[in-house]
Structure 1
């Protein structure tokens, strides 16, 4: 029966209860990690969405509706998944999906784009209900999944280094503070201390400059969808592949790295429903997000993994508030130096990257070459059919391991 199937999909994994009350999930570490994740998601990515809206010549009302859709729904996904599963499963939207819309909206009626957004969500929903994504994630060799995670997330570490090179005093002080606090002050979250010192340095150096973003505080203007076969293949299919092959796969892998048992099918279903609802409101996707899940699921969000879902709740509330007040909030969030966001996000990813690399290239793994190929593909800017590198990292990594007979050795191990 459909009801029984839905109950199965959304049933928490065995032993999913954290053992902590909701209040105990809000620690200084979980709150600070949730704030860092929200700042990351509300800064540069918001500017990408605004650029796509400008490329499509959208009105202020349509732009605000787009931001409202993806941030409010993304926040609600975070809150709902965290409360249901007691895991740091974050919702947001596809950043690469927003980037491809910059080119796609240039010569397209926005009504057709909205129809494509809804169809993309429906496609993801159907795949989630089928259970095929959960089976696929269980079949994929873990070393290749972990290598994909490391390759996809390594850009945050590289971005932190580049930020120090660009603004040595501000970003360098933040990084130095992080490591000193990690070594000598156990009671204070290193990422929180780094953020405060970096912000103070930015203020002292005069680097806080409100962004000149032309978005009025207006009511959202919703767009009537138009469904066409051309936009289904041009927009819906690539967006669905990005949501499943990049965002959901990254989030699932990150959670596995940290020892969780993520509800893969439920994450896919929620991403599909979020995509359809966001489309109805005029936004491109609201789905499970990889980078924010990585930040909230890392050791920076708490020493005990069972308490880290508090970071996702904080992130979800801030995301939703940003979506409601997007017209006012965007210029102030974008006033923060990009380099400060990059260095803090990179520092927060250290634990995830170390764990992923250790699990991908452990000497007993049977897929070392396939994992290495997955790593370098995920690190690259490779894209095919509008689908970005993380998806192809899994495909190519598995193909190489199969050709070399590594899959048999991995299964045997």
Structure 2
């Protein structure tokens, strides 16, 4: 431990500190609003919302600290944004306790797959194109709502979107979602829609939420969430780490993420996993030496834990903002995820027909037999792939 502390101090630079902070700010802004929006749509209580926020940030921060220090790599822990959107689509169908039970099953599956070596086989038999197209289908309503809220308040919406676009173009090292949020707060203050006077903020302890189990929730949540973590979140971050020259500990990332998750779920967390976009912020050469960039992960972990601990004091201020702002910022936060997913789904010549079916089934929001659209998107597209694109499986898994 003393040796780790010495290495952290020796690599304490403005660059590693800033990278850790910027990655954390990314996690504080749009992704947090997605969770809040999901909790509101599911009718969760204030305490359940606080527990959810507390658990994903505190345990995500602990995962960053543990993995970055142990493996001397900037392995940044957080939670699955796509998974949060998946939950937003199912939390209105099942009781929250059933959703928690589905989380337990999902992370148990990830743990089993990680220790048995089945992760690589799953990634071969469940094409990334299909999973990515399903994600776009589930997320697309955010982009549509971003346009629809123009009717509600053209001034706030267009000002915020313009700020996002300009900062994307001109401010390469600052999160455009953060700039958009700041501009949105200024805009709603000008219009008088943001009233701080009635806000009551007090410290609330997270509460334990005990799971119940239902086949509908397990099929609708557990399987899609496990596939998202394995085929999207972990695969993306591992590719980023390898691209930066690290020997990414693939099995340890899946195994330890599932173990952290299996504790965090009892406070409402849907997942604790390595975060691709935040890992990308902490891995470039400008962050520092290859051996020292792990310090950015350490700082990120500290910031994440702090935000989680103070969430009960911060969330009331966020909830005081008009609903259209939560929708707008959450939508802007999803743009990068959707564009990356679209590119991954349709940029190759493989599984194009099945990926298209995954997209439209995910968009449909279809739900029957107590199974919602995400799993039907995967099952339906695999059915299409085995009929129309079987030769692509032959190439991929050498059947």
Does the pair score TM above 0.5?
A: yes
Q: Who is 2:58 aligned against?
A: 72
Measure, in 2, the Cα distance between the counterparts of 1:388 and 1:245: 15
1:408, CA displacement in angstroms? 3.5
- Relative to 1, partners in 2 of residues 1:275 and 1:365: Cα closer, same or farther, differing over 3 Å? same
The C-alpha deviation readout for 1:152-192, integer Å capped at 9, x for no partner, is: 44444334323444322122112212333444566765444
Could you say which residue in structure 2 is the equivalent of 1:13? none
1:380 aligns with 2:364: yes
Q: Secondary structure at the match of 2:29?
A: helix
Structure 2 residues without counterparts, runs of 5 or longer: 1-10, 288-292
The one of 69, 73, 78 aligned to 1:90: 78
Secondary structure of residue in 2 paired with 1:231: coil
Q: What per-residue deviation string (whole Å, max 9, x for no partner) do you get for residues 332-357 of structure 1?
A: 12223443344444444444444443
Larger mean Cα displacement after TM superposition, 249-258 or 367-376: 249-258
Distance in 1 of aligned mates of 2:229 and 2:57: 16
**More divergent stretch after superposition (73-82 vs 46-55):** 46-55
CA RMSD in angstroms comes to 4.6
Aligned residue for 2:164?
178
What is the CA distance between 1:361 and its match in structure 2?
2.6
Q: Would you say 1:194 and 2:180 are equivalent positions?
A: yes
Pick from 309, 323, 341 the counterpart of residue 308 of structure 2: 323
Whole-Å separation in 1 of the counterparts to 2:342 and 2:392: 22
| 8 Å Cα contact 1:245-1:390 kept in structure 2 | no
Q: Does 1:395 align with 2:385?
A: no
Per-residue deviation at 1:265?
4.3
- The Cα shift of 1:134 comes to 3.0
Post-superposition Cα deviations, 1:186-214, rounded to whole Å, max 9, x if no partner, equal 67654443333222212222232469899
**Which residue number in structure 1 is paired with residue 191 of structure 2?**
205
Q: Secondary structure at the match of 1:166?
A: coil
Q: Is the 8 A contact 1:254 1:352 kept in 2?
A: no
Q: Does 1:274 align with 2:274?
A: no
Alignment of 1:203-242 (within 5 A): 203-209=189-195, 217-220=203-206, 222=208, 231=213, 233=215, 238-242=220-224
1:10-409 → structure 2 map (5 Å cutoff): 23=13, 24-27=15-18, 31-32=21-22, 34-46=24-36, 48-49=38-39, 68-81=54-67, 84=71, 85-91=73-79, 94-95=83-84, 96-97=86-87, 100=90, 104-105=94-95, 118=104, 121-183=107-169, 190-209=176-195, 217-220=203-206, 222=208, 231=213, 233=215, 238-252=220-234, 254-255=236-237, 265-279=251-265, 281-283=266-268, 285-288=270-273, 293=275, 296=278, 301=281, 304=284, 316-362=301-347, 365-383=349-367, 388-408=372-392
Task: Specify the SS of the correspondent of 2:357.
Answer: helix
Structure 1 residue 388 displacement after superposition: 4.5
Q: Alpha-carbon deviation of 1:98?
A: 7.2
Give the TM-score normalised by the residue count of structure 1: 0.68
Distance 2:92 2:337 in 1: 31
C-alpha distance in 2 between matches for 1:52 and 1:171: 25
Paired residues, number: 373
Residue 103 to residue 209, structure 1, CA distance change in 2 (3 Å): farther
Evaluate the alpha carbon distance shift between residue 239 and residue 395 of structure 1 in structure 2; reply closer, same or farther with a 3 A threshold. closer
